[in-house]
């Protein structure tokens, strides 16, 4: 992540401004290989290390939850330039102020847990 500059706030800005292929290349490569790999796992019914079949759990069908949650996530992603994984990679890289972002992201998750029953899903 760090070495491809995907942890950079600038790269996320560039992505949301559609001004370079870079981030789309990273995510696109992972997704295309992922689709092929998952299809192969299902076709050949591959098993994991403990011998159980590798299973995929269908997510619950709904629109508001994914759309509203996704929009809130996207607002924060563009503002801080980091989704949860890159936050911690940035801390390791020496950008310690991402600790503030990580602490508040954890508080945000806590807030969701508190409000969960009152939100449309």
CB 7 within 8 A of CB 93: yes
Which helix (DSSP H) or strand (DSSP E) does residue 68 occupy?
A: helix 64-80
Q: How far is the CB of 43 from other proteins (least distance, A)?
A: 13
Q: Which is nearer to other proteins, 43 or 78 (CB)?
A: 78
- C-alpha span between 119 and 109 (Å, rounded): 14
Q: Give the three-state DSSP class for 47.
A: strand
| Nearest residue to 22 via CA among 37, 35, 5, 9 | 5
Residue in the structure block whose two tokens are 């796992």: 41
Q: Which is nearer to other proteins, 43 or 61 (CB)?
A: 61
Residue 69 burial (10 A CB sphere; 0-12, 13-18, 19+): middle
Q: Which is nearer to other proteins, 14 or 45 (CB)?
A: 14
Q: How far is the CB of 39 from other proteins (least distance, A)?
A: 9
Q: How far is the CB of 44 from other proteins (least distance, A)?
A: 13
Q: How far is the CB of 80 from other proteins (least distance, A)?
A: 4
């Amino acid at each position: 992540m760090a070495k491809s500059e995907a942890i950079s706030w600038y790269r996320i800005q560039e992505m949301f401004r559609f001004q370079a292929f870079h981030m789309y290349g990273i995510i696109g490569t992972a997704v295309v290989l992922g689709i092929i790999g998952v299809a192969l796992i299902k076709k050949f019914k591959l098993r994991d290390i403990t011998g159980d079949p590798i299973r995929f759990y269908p997510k619950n069908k709904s629109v508001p939850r994914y759309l509203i949650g996704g929009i809130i996530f996207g607002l924060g992603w563009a503002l801080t330039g980091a989704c949860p994984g890159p936050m911690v990679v940035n801390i390791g890289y020496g950008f310690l102020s991402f600790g503030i972002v990580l602490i508040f992201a954890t508080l945000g998750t806590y807030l969701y847990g508190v409000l969960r029953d009152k939100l449309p899903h």
